[in-house]
Every structure is written in structure tokens, then in C-alpha cells.
């Protein structure tokens, strides 16, 4: 059963000009890009998106970071897409990320870690809906 997951190329990676290289990682690992857009999140959007982390010490900083430049948001589809994307991304802390993962290659620190990826199929559904209308998600 193919799954869908939400991915965000974060401001650090956008500013490093590695959007293309990151999208290539998804495609060459069998994750199809079925929706894609660039957005500059407002504070309220970022706060809402990361609401699960509101009590964490890094919440305010994360919101600042995520609103510091445009981001590129995509829906990825493929077998086991949620877990597969998490594998391709690598560990949250890039120092623990495996060779060949996006975070190993492109992260700057534990906050500026290049990409977001949904952590469950349930959250993927919520996060996809946060960013995309149904008619802007495609099948090909
Ligand atoms: P992931 O993005 O791997 O799912 P989390 O959901 O735990 O990780 O955290 C969300 C984001 O918050 C991380 O990707 C990272 O940008 C930031 N973050 C997580 N932990 C820390 C930390 N200890 N210090 C600063 N920022 C953090
Ligand atoms: Mg997370």
C-alpha cells in the first residue's frame, strides 16, 4: 500500500541552495513528489505546525528559524513513505545521522537540520492537510 508523507525543506537548506539535491534524494529513493510549493511561513503558522513542541525549550527558537526564509513543502508518495522518508532524512541530531542521509550531508546543527518529515501516517495526514488542498495533490 503506498503511503503519503509531508516533507519540508527548511530555511537552512533553502539558503544553502540545496533544494534540488534534496528533492533528488527523494526521487532516487523511490519517493514520488506529488505536490510541491514554496511558502514563507508566518509566525502563527509555524507555531501551529509545531504545537506538539510548545513546551520544549527550543520551541520559540524553532519558530523563529522556520520563519527566517521561505521553505519548500512537498507531499511524497511511495511504499512505506513515512518511514522511508525518515530513513532518507537521518536522525534529528545530524551528528547521529547515517552516511548518505540528508541531515548528515546538509544539516548545520540540531535545529538547522535541513528537513522536516512526518513521524506517523496519522500526523502525515494532518500535516498534508495543513499545507495542501486536495486538488493540488496529484497522481501520475
Ligand atoms: P524531527 O524533526 O526529527 O521529527 P523533533 O520532532 O523532535 O525532530 O523536533 C522538531 C524540530 O525541532 C527538529 O527537526 C529540530 O529542527 C528542532 N529540535 C529538536 N530537538 C532540538 C534541540 N534539542 N535543540 C534545538 N532544536 C531542536
Ligand atoms: Mg518531528
Q: Is residue 55 included in any domain, yes or no? A: no
**Residue 62 Cβ contacting ligand 1 at under 6 Å:** yes
- What's the total number of domains in the chain? 1
Q: Which residues of 6-38 are buried (b: 16+ CB within 10 A; e: fewer)?
A: bbbbbbbbbeeebeeebbebbeeeebbebbbee
**Residue 59 Cβ contacting ligand 1 at under 6 Å:** no
| pLDDT computed for residue 100 by the predictor | 97
Residues 5/81, Cβ–Cβ less than 8 Å: yes
| pLDDT computed for residue 1 by the predictor | 81
Q: Which helix (H) or strand (E) holds 15?
A: helix 11-15
Q: Is residue 58 included in any domain, yes or no? A: no
Give catalytic status of residue 53 as yes or no: no
| Residue 99 belongs to domain spanning | 3-40+70-136
Q: Is residue 65 included in any domain, yes or no? A: no
Instruction: Choose among 17, 20, 3, 14: nearest CA to 86.
Output: 3
Q: For position 127, which CATH number holds?
A: 3.30.70.141
Global pTM? 0.98
Q: Is residue 61 included in any domain, yes or no? A: no
pLDDT tens for the chain, 140 residues long, are 899 999 999 999 999 999 999 999 999 999 999 999 999 999 999 999 999 999 999 999 999 999 999 999 999 999 999 999 999 999 999 999 999 999 999 999 999 999 999 999 999 999 999 999 999 999 99
**Ligand 1 center to 43 CA (angstroms):** 17
> Which alpha helices (H) appear in 29-140, and where do they start and end?
43-49, 59-66, 81-89, 102-106, 121-131
What strands, in cross-sheet order, belong to the sheet with 2-9?
32-39, 71-79, 2-9, 115-117
**Ligand 2 center to 119 CA (angstroms):** 6
Written as nine digits, the cell of 129 is 492537510
Q: Is residue 105 included in any domain, yes or no? A: yes
Amino acid at each position: 500500500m503506498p503511503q503519503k508523507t509531508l516533507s519540508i525543506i527548511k530555511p537552512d537548506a533553502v539558503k544553502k541552495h540545496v533544494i534540488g539535491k534534496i528533492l533528488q534524494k527523494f526521487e532516487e529513493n523511490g519517493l514520488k513528489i506529488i505536490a510541491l510549493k514554496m511558502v514563507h511561513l508566518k509566525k502563527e503558522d509555524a507555531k501551529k505546525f509545531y504545537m506538539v513542541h510548545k513546551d520544549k525549550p527550543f520551541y520559540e527558537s524553532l519558530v523563529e528559524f522556520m520563519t527566517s526564509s521561505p521553505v519548500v513543502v512537498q507531499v511524497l508518495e511511495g511504499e512505506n513513505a513515512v518511514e522511508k522518508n525518515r530513513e532518507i532524512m537521518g536522525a534529528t541530531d545530524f551528528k547521529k545521522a547515517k552516511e548518505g542521509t540528508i541531515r548528515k550531508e546538509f544539516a548545520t546543527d540540531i535545529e538547522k537540520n535541513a528537513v522536516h518529515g512526518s513521524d506517523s501516517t496519522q500526523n502525515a495526514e494532518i500535516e498534508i492537510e495543513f499545507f495542501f488542498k486536495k486538488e493540488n495533490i496529484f497522481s501520475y
